[in-house]
Structure 1
């Protein structure tokens, strides 16, 4: 790790910029000041005052290989000297084309046509736009709004903060209830977890299926909605229902993709494929923003025509940014050797052992682990700011949300750091254990 220079260690930039920064997910009038980070290394954040915190979140689930991985860093250095960016309209470059081929080879089935963007939310919006235009191009709806113009998503779901993605998030439990009634209403249902709920969703689709363009779901784990888990059979049920009612199936794997649940992609646990999958977060190993909406051949071919208007008229300015694509290719290099599987299993075992005692803590209603995701759920929303401060005192960076304290560490997090993270959770929730 390079030693931070004096300008970074001096907190003047924090004080001088504070009046001009609008921070995420907080009430600016009452929020606690943020912690100034001056460097990262492996699983650690280095603060301006010299303290080091074990990052239990891998920076919102992105830094799967740990921070500052030398292979990714070298790929970025090489690429920035050659070509940091070039527009993708009418031009091509090797990092994007190689990445698209590699994603097609990694993804199951014929998910083989990648459309790149910058953020996960935008990738979901692109997937939604693809689904709408798929039906327009096939004549199942008009571009005047008749026909399949809505989406079916699920309670507990979260798909982003942009305008269209807000409409497919949980309208009551999510962060966007303020906009209820302002944005176009989608169809929100319960996930089909058993035969009875599958029959209920089938009945809903029998009535409203002809107005629905696609079903949208986070496979296996509804992340920001509370780290809510469901089984592979739920995904198989959604595939059956989508096929039966002529709607597309979109998997939002922005959180679950690239090993987080134990398989490379969550869909692989169910043995089925969606029509479109969205990817981001760990795609570049936590270095640069990049996302993709990857479509099946059937979806892609619906856009092929002699009519120019039948093409996908979309193009983010920084789409397929060569620097970001180089980082993603380097990240995929690290996945190719397969060591991540053992690392995820090791992290999963540490989270299971370290968090299970929390079941005895006051207010805890569930403890659950899937892959490199560990969750302690309470019976009421937790005080995020207060808990963050207590975790920092224990040497950990853990930011709860809603009713859950969760851990999503880098796969490469050492055992000693994993032990510190789970010990911090046990101490803060107030449970005694021999491990402590």
Structure 2
């Protein structure tokens, strides 16, 4: 471990000095990270679910290099450029038909902030400024900025320390894969009693990411959207983690063809190359919002947009659905039997997502060291040992990941 890094650089959800060893990455290619000390490991995390094409991809490299020769950054205030226009056209084309307006941001958290602002400004301009709260399901995660934190799970989430200063919103029961009636009853009651003060509902469709890696019945989305429409509440879907094929559909909302009023995208948008996100909405909401009071410095970065265009084209022209189906089949074949293991509480699999929830908290440093010894990089947290690999991973490489997961559980 680099001692300067350990003593001077903050890492996500860590202290200084960092108590858990960090590993120096010297280079990366395909699905592999090349660590200092000549250690080569399969990245089963896609760098937090974003590097769907793997690393050092020639198509994405070329897109970045070509754009660098033109312009890497220019302010988006009063100016525009072809990469942003092309990307916006593509996003409008591949998302639900009624989503026709695009606001670019520089991270997923800020995409959520923009979505919340859209909802608040929309109702304010309709003369309903008292509609300034949000409703969401428990177990959610929407980012680390203050607005995003306020709609993350208030008790079991990563932001409970800030609960005393965050705006108070409404949290309703989360649905499960097999049961959703009680969750819908809770939402119904909350909307009946508080719709006059609720601007929008926000949730991650089908899969809740960093809040617990839970998978729930897609039909909940259809029913929740209908309830929101009935009670004059906007419906926001956060597809930052689930978008661009991760669940087996291009977007998780396609499991039931639900139409959100606002949609947040990020992570895999650029194939893990650049930080970029987007918030899409309808003509009606855009007209109601008017001037959206937001504008990041690196909004619609030409370099990021150029790479995003190349990444989406690469994805759509690949057999991505077959690749995801093959990943899901291997994960099911290799991990499902762990449900009977005495140390395992649950196994959840959907698309290119494989989650093993253990009965007890994981010692992250111990587990990561064991995994690295076995040639695999995963980032467990809490009780969760999971993989969300690049879509290009081969059967043999994925089997190494699942074998490592099973071996680590035996060694705990």
1:388 match: secondary structure = helix
Determine which of 238, 246, 253 is the counterpart of 2:232.
246
8 Å Cα contact 2:246-2:351 kept in structure 1 = yes
**1:195 to 2:175 alignment:** no
Q: 1:51-109 deviations in whole A, cap 9, x for unaligned?
A: 10001100000001111111111000000011101110000100001100000000013
Give 2:118's aligned residue. 130
Give 1:424's aligned residue. 404
Give 2:36's aligned residue. 48
Q: CA deviation at 1:380?
A: 2.8
Q: 1:192-241 deviations in whole A, cap 9, x for unaligned?
A: 55334312311111111110100000000000011101111110111111
Give 2:166's aligned residue. 183
Cα distance in structure 2, aligned partners of 1:268 and 1:381:
34
Deviating more after overlay: 176-185 vs 413-422: 176-185
2:402 match: secondary structure = helix
Determine which of 2, 5, 8 is the counterpart of 1:20.
8
Determine which of 264, 267, 271 is the counterpart of 1:278.
264
Give 2:96's aligned residue. 108
Cα distance in structure 1, aligned partners of 2:6 and 2:263:
38
Give 2:140's aligned residue. 157
Cα distance in structure 1, aligned partners of 2:266 and 2:335:
28
Give 2:364's aligned residue. 384
Q: 1:165-184 deviations in whole A, cap 9, x for unaligned?
A: 11110011111111122211
**1:88 to 2:76 alignment:** yes
8 Å Cα contact 1:226-1:401 kept in structure 2 = no
Determine which of 250, 265, 277 is the counterpart of 1:264.
250
**Distance change (3 Å), C-alpha of 1:16 and 1:379:** closer
2:135 match: secondary structure = strand
Deviating more after overlay: 229-238 vs 54-63: 229-238
When normalised by structure 1's length, the TM-score is 0.91
Task: Structure 2: give runs of 5+ residues left out of the alignment.
Answer: none
8 Å Cα contact 2:6-2:18 kept in structure 1 = no
1:91 match: secondary structure = coil
1:430 match: secondary structure = helix
Kindly report structure 1 stretches of 4+ aligned residues shifted beyond 6 Å. none
Cα distance in structure 2, aligned partners of 1:347 and 1:37:
26
Q: Across the two proteins, how many residue pairs are aligned to each other? A: 408
Cα distance in structure 2, aligned partners of 1:177 and 1:264:
32
Cα distance in structure 2, aligned partners of 1:19 and 1:26:
12
1:203 match: secondary structure = helix
Q: Calculate the aligned-residue CA RMSD, in Å.
A: 1.4
Cα distance in structure 2, aligned partners of 1:16 and 1:173:
33
Q: 1:353-382 deviations in whole A, cap 9, x for unaligned?
A: 111232233321111210000011122322
Cα distance in structure 2, aligned partners of 1:21 and 1:138:
46
Determine which of 141, 156, 159 is the counterpart of 1:173.
156
When normalised by structure 2's length, the TM-score is 0.96
1:238 match: secondary structure = helix
Cα distance in structure 2, aligned partners of 1:360 and 1:271:
35
2:354 match: secondary structure = strand
Give 1:77's aligned residue. 65
Larger radius of gyration: 1
Query: Superposition pairs for residues 281-430 of structure 1, below 5 Å?
Result: 281-303=267-289, 310-430=290-410
Q: CA deviation at 1:38?
A: 0.5
Task: Structure 1: give runs of 5+ residues left out of the alignment.
Answer: 1-10, 142-146, 304-309, 432-436
1:254 match: secondary structure = coil
Q: CA deviation at 1:17?
A: 4.3
Q: CA deviation at 1:23?
A: 1.3
2:356 match: secondary structure = strand
Give 1:63's aligned residue. 51
Give 1:144's aligned residue. none
Cα distance in structure 2, aligned partners of 1:161 and 1:372:
25
Give 2:20's aligned residue. 32
**Distance change (3 Å), C-alpha of 1:209 and 1:74:** same
